[in-house]
């Protein structure tokens, strides 16, 4: 006999969507950087001045394709982890916490480095849109982490209503 489904707490559902939104914003920014072909070619030429234009074009094309593959993989991974967390799996909450804490720390480091002038001293160029994305994703992920831990009784229960379920069952879900 199947256990009755319990609803996903509102804070957990909001946390799930914050994770997905943050990953989506990061992916959009990353993809936008990938399609700035002029910058990629200039950087490739600066790092490898001995390469011909055909070699640089091939390297940039391969890098863009690999970058797109990685971006999609990260978005899928974050979405799956967020949905698994919403189903009440504590291990997914822990993984998201570790990834999110690292992302928040890196985002804060980028912001502090820019506003303190350290980035400029080291010759690192930071565009305003990059800083905006860093700020937004840092805030979203910090909020998502906090919200995940506001409802600790949700984790460890099976059969949560309103949470996406997998068609296949495994010991990992």
pLDDT score for 103 = 95
Q: Give 41's pLDDT tier (boundaries 50, 70, 90).
A: confident
4 SS3 class: coil
pLDDT score for 157 = 57
Residue 160 predicted with pLDDT over 60: no
Report the alpha-carbon distance of residue 42 to residue 47 in Å, rounded: 9
- State whether the Cα torsion 41-44-46-51 is positive or negative: negative
Tell me how long the chain is. Answer: 173
Q: What is the pLDDT of residues 1-35, one digit of tens each?
A: 455 567 889 999 999 999 999 999 999 998 888 88
Residue 127 predicted with pLDDT over 60: yes
pLDDT score for 162 = 56
Q: Give 108's pLDDT tier (boundaries 50, 70, 90).
A: very high
Q: What's the predicted TM-score (pTM) here?
A: 0.80
* Torsion region of 2: left, alpha or beta (phi above 0 gives left; psi -120 to 50 gives alpha): beta
Q: What percent of the chain has pLDDT over 70?
A: 87
21-25, 58-62, 167-171: which has the minimum mean pLDDT? 167-171
Q: What is the pLDDT of residues 75-97, one digit of tens each?
A: 999 999 999 999 989 999 999 99
Report the alpha-carbon distance of residue 140 to residue 136 in Å, rounded: 6
pLDDT score for 171 = 43
């Amino acid at each position: 006999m199947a256990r009755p489904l319990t609803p996903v707490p509102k804070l957990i559902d909001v946390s799930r969507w914050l994770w997905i939104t943050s990953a989506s914003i990061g992916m959009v920014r990353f993809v936008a950087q990938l399609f700035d072909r002029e910058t990629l070619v200039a950087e490739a030429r600066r790092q490898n001045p001995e390469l011909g234009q055909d070699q640089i074009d091939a390297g940039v094309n391969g890098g863009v394709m690999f970058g797109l593959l990685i971006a999609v993989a990260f978005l899928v991974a974050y979405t799956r982890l967020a949905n698994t967390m919403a189903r009440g799996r504590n291990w997914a909450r822990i993984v998201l916490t570790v990834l999110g804490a690292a992302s928040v720390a890196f985002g804060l480091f980028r912001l502090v480095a820019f506003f303190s002038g350290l980035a400029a001293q080291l010759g690192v160029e930071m565009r305003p849109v990059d800083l905006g994305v860093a700020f937004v994703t840092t805030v979203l992920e910090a909020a998502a982490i906090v919200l995940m831990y506001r409802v600790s009784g949700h984790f460890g229960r099976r059969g949560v209503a309103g949470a996406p379920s997998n068609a296949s069952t495994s010991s990992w879900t």
